[in-house]
Every structure is written in C-alpha cells, then in structure tokens.
Amino acid sequence: MSVSNPPSSLAALDDRMRTIFREIVESYLETGEPVGSRTLSQAGRLSLSPASIRNTMSDLARLGLLTAPHSSAGRLPTHSGLRLFVDGLLQIGELSANERRAIEGQVGGTGRPVKDLLGEASAMLSGLAGGAGLVMTPKQEAPLRHIEFVSISPVETLAVLVFADGHVENRLMTTPDGLPPAALVEAGNYLSTRLKGRTLGEARRAIEEEMAAHQTQLDEAAQSLVTRGLADWGGPEGEQSLIIRGQAKLLENVDAAEDLERIRLLFDDIERKRELIALMDRARDADGVRLFIGAENPLFSLSGSSVIVAPYMNSEQEIVGALGVIGPTRLNYARVIPLVDYTARVVGKILDGGR
C-alpha cells in the first residue's frame, strides 16, 4: 500500500475524514487500543455504516495519519497523525483553581535549596501527569557573595553558598580526616574573600592557580577542606543536570509484551541524559510549551515516546531551565500541556523569590 506524505493541516481532510480521525485519536488516547470501524459505528456518534467508516479509515491510512498494528482490523494514529491532531483538533482546557493551588502548595516554599525545589516539581509532574517528570536545572552563573562551613558530624560538613542574586545553596561534603573546628572558619574566610563577585567557575580556576603556585596562607587542614570543596563543586561552569522522578509510573497499566518492550526502550532513552538535556534545551528557544512526538526526535525513534516541555525564567525574565513530562505517545495532552505550562510559571515565580 502506498502512503503519501501526511498533510500539514486539517484543510486536506473533508468533514467525514476529520470526524472519524478525531474519534480514532481520542479513543486511542483514552484506551491505548486500536479502533475498528464496527466499534465506531456501534458507538452511535457517527451516522455511517461500518463499510463507509472502513473506507474513510483506509483513506486516512494512505495519507499517513493512521496505521494498523499487526493483523488487527483496528487503526491507531501514527506520530504524524498525533501531531496533526494536537496542532489542529486538540482542545486544551484551563486548570481549575484547586489544581493551581495544589501545584503551588506542593512545589511552593521559598528558602529551600534550588535542587530540592526542582526535585519536588519533577515528582509532582510525574504524579499528576502519569509519566516521568523531568526538570533541567538552571545554569549557575550568578556571582558568589559569601561562603561558610558548618560541621554536621565528625565526617560531614555543610557548605553554605550565598549568591549575589540572593539565593542560597547548601552542599554536603565529606570532612577531611582530623580537621579541627578552627579550620572551618579559616577555610570559609579564605574562600569568601576570593569568591566574592566571581562565579563559582571563575573562583575555582583562580584558587586552583593560587594553590598550584603555593601562594596560599592556609594551613594543611584548611587547604584540604578547600580542595575537597572545589572537587565537590566541580564540573564545567554553567553545566546543567537533569532531575528525573516517577519512572515507575511508566510501568503502570502495561499489559502487552510489546508495550513493556517500548517502556524498556524508553528507560534506555532516559538514561541517555546528555541527549535528553539537549532536547529540553531546545525548549529555551520557545515561547511556551513545546511538544515532541515519537520519531520527531531521533532519541525516541525506537520507544515512540512523547515529551512535553516548557521553559522557566529567572527574575530578569531570562530562560534558565526547562521542565516537563516524558511518557508514551498516548499521554493526556489536553491535561498535561497546561499542567506543564503552569508548573513552569510557578517554579519561575518561586526562583524569583515569590514576586
């Protein structure tokens, strides 16, 4: 059977084709099952015979919008068909006031470390959307203002980093053996002097050069703590990480062996975090929510998954990160799209200090 290129808009479909196409896609998104002509006819919403519906389904298949899995008489939307449906037929509702308050309550709360806040947002997205929640952390480029070390236990030290933009991050470190309490104060003063007005990456390079030239006035214990801190806070400046929560959600309601195989492939995709970060970074170029369906991105060519992503902004309205949901192509787009959009706005507002 020859298949033409899928139409780029609904204008290529007549009213009958559009109605049947919509019924099939909505049924698939609800059940995940192929839809047959007899099922559509018996549903009573179409005043057409099974034969007429079957002919129209064949026309939609030739257009590349529907496909028949295996020998099933039923049809499923292709990735191109889902894209056409989302762009032209999907009715996206508004979140209720209760849903908005629930998001604000679960993610809200200023004063927490940024990664804790973003981890909560990722878990919340997973729970509400039924997929895995994804949050790309901001690039940390703000200059530092102050740092101090606090002893938590004989083997753990908390580094408190205060940034010029007002946010605070706590980093838990392993305490070097035999470190006296006075070394915590000495190391904190040393770092605060050299960090002030510099980004973490800039300060790290300057301090490493100073230590390499043996120009520091620190004693051995304090220098050991500073060196340990620089290693713990290492990585390229501006590096972003990906927080993923709720992968177990993807295993819910998986019955058929082929569905389990798709989820396995999806887990493989998720493990390729660098490529997933690159995909989410594309949301930084968008004004609002972006949707990637199946083969539209090479990363999901095998698992046939969808990603719904939205950027979040800092107080200067600069896009600093992105968050979203990844799951099977039968995600509830009408619900997940506004959910992701509103969560991104809430996260941006919290990072801006609640203003």
pLDDT digits (tens, 9 = 90+) for 40-69: 887 767 788 888 989 999 999 999 999 987
Q: What is the mean pLDDT of residues 304-309?
A: 86
CATH number for the domain including 40? 1.10.10.10
Identify whether residues 57 and 83 lie together within a single domain: yes
pTM, 2 dp? 0.68
Task: Note the pLDDT of residue 111.
Answer: 60
Task: Note the pLDDT of residue 25.
Answer: 94
The per-residue pLDDT of the chain, averaged, comes to: 80
- Which of these, 137, 138, 136, 190, lies nearest to 159 by C-alpha position? 190
Task: Note the pLDDT of residue 109.
Answer: 62
Q: What is the CA radius of gyration of the chain?
A: 26
* pLDDT for 166 beyond 90: no
Higher-confidence residue: 80 or 302?
Answer: 80
Burial class (CB within 10 angstroms; exposed 0-12, middle 13-18, buried 19+) of 12: middle
* pLDDT for 113 beyond 60: yes
Q: Extract the tokens encoding 43.
A: 């549903």
Domain total for the chain?
Answer: 3
Residue 250: domain span: 97-139+240-351
* pLDDT for 83 beyond 90: yes
Task: Note the pLDDT of residue 26.
Answer: 92
List, in order, residues 6 or more apart from 2 with CB less than 8 Å away.
Answer: 62
CATH number for the domain including 191? 3.30.390.60
Identify whether residues 250 and 127 lie together within a single domain: yes
Q: Extract the tokens encoding 248.
A: 């177990």
Identify whether residues 155 and 254 lie together within a single domain: no
Task: Note the pLDDT of residue 232.
Answer: 61
Identify whether residues 133 and 148 lie together within a single domain: no
Task: Note the pLDDT of residue 182.
Answer: 84
With bands split at pLDDT 50, 70 and 90, how would you rate the model's confidence at 20?
Answer: very high
φ and ψ of 203, to 5 deg: -65, -40
> How many CB atoms lie under 10 A from the CB of residue 348?
20
